[in-house]
Amino acid sequence: MAQKLWGGRFRKQIDALANTFNASIHFDNRLYPQDIEGSMAHCRMLAKQGVITDDEASRILEGLGQIKGELDRGEIPFSTDYEDIHSLVEKNLVEKIGSLGEKLHTGRSRNDQVALDVRLYEREVIQRVMGLIRDTQSALISLAEKHIGLIMPGYTHLQRAQPVLVAHHLLAYYEMLKRDRQRFAEVLERVNILPLGSAALAGSTFELDRRMVADELGFDGITDNSMDAVSDRDFVLDFLFASSVLMMHLSRLSEELILWSSREFGFITISDDFCTGSSIMPQKKNPDLPELIRGKTGRVYGHLVSLLTTMKGLPLTYNKDMQEDKEALFDTADTVEACLSVTCRLLTGITFHAEELREAVEKGFLDATDLADYLVRKGIPFREAHEVVGRLVLFASDEGKELRELSVSEMKRFSKKIDKDVYEWLDPVRTVNRRNLPGGTGPERVRQRLETARKELES
């Protein structure tokens, strides 16, 4: 078992089981690029401040570069002999350049080192996630543009409610993802603050140039309280929350794709390359990919609740409990990136069925609200018009007819205000066209929104 970085105070080596239980190298090994990047910036700063010489800094930097290359090539095993990725890098550096490697840790602790590494890692993930969100938004826009004239039922309570453009429905998810990108952008601002220089919790006795390190690493600023800096995981929780909301949106979209692709709806077909079959039923074509996205949403929620629970009772400052942040962060990052990638590609292979959508729009009294609005324009108060149309719907339902299939004389039994011009208000196409106010489903407004959305993505 390798000597620990903290072994001087102990008479016994750590128990083998305790060593395995305590180690994080089996999951925090993915932080090695960030750990080395942060160590290089710290090294250059130590040289500038005269804590180490320029020659010593050059040798340290060369050694770190060699270790980075060896790790990239998989030549250094991630053994539990190393407690964590920080220990692995430092021990290998000492093996390469001797005791000089031990000078690198001057003025820092693993507490502020790991906070830096996680911030660097999360910053990279957020930028990738925001790019994937943009790609998914673009796929939604393309699908909406392809079906700009197609009408479908809009729903409340999973009951047919009013006709809307398919494009308008798809753009609702564009808006959700737009808010998701905004949330991640806000998280990125809070992530991009340098904690290094806080040391274990109280800062350092060395004159460290923290702003130099911040500039080297592309941070917008430095933390103002060393105790908060090493014990803060709000930025991880922010990421987990933003990811949870994003996954909720992807899950809602997945649920609709699952429903729409069923025989009961028959609105869409999902491309074969994003479905699977049954091992016993030859006819089956299952929407497994949307189902998995829907299922993985709970997994991301779990990581958020888990870390909130971990953090809720911790006194200042660092506690080993906080090691539990990384698996939650890493798995969430992997899950979100995978789900966005799948959703984006899946959307490009969706086919809408115009005939089935037309039939769905023409059944279920989706024109009832427009009939009430028609009566309002004839001088009837809306609540009275609502009551009249409700009784008309009941009558038509008993007769096995839609509202437009009733004769004017039948409708006049419920209101003398109804005349032949009523049928203009019972046409699904005109129903959609009339809703041409900003934010509505009118074709002109939807086309304008599509154009604006394209410009938003380009900017």
**Residues assigned a catalytic role:** 157, 278
- CA separation for the pair 164, 179 (Å, rounded): 22
- CA separation for the pair 88, 431 (Å, rounded): 67
Element at 216 (helix H, strand E) = helix 210-217
- CA separation for the pair 111, 202 (Å, rounded): 11
- CA separation for the pair 65, 68 (Å, rounded): 5
What does DSSP assign to residue 87? H
- CA separation for the pair 391, 294 (Å, rounded): 40
CB atoms within 10 A of CB 245: 16
Residue with tokens 């305790």: 18
Angstrom CA distances, 312 to 178, 307, 316, 322, 338, stand at 31, 8, 11, 11, 30
Angstrom CA distances, 302 to 38, 298, 309, 325, 336, stand at 30, 6, 10, 12, 14
AA letter at 62: E
First to last CA, the chain: 54
> Considering Cα of 114, then 116, then 117, then 119, what sign does the dihedral take?
positive
What would the two tokens of residue 408 be?
Answer: 């004017």
What would the two tokens of residue 433 be?
Answer: 């066209």
- CA separation for the pair 43, 46 (Å, rounded): 5
- CA separation for the pair 244, 10 (Å, rounded): 43
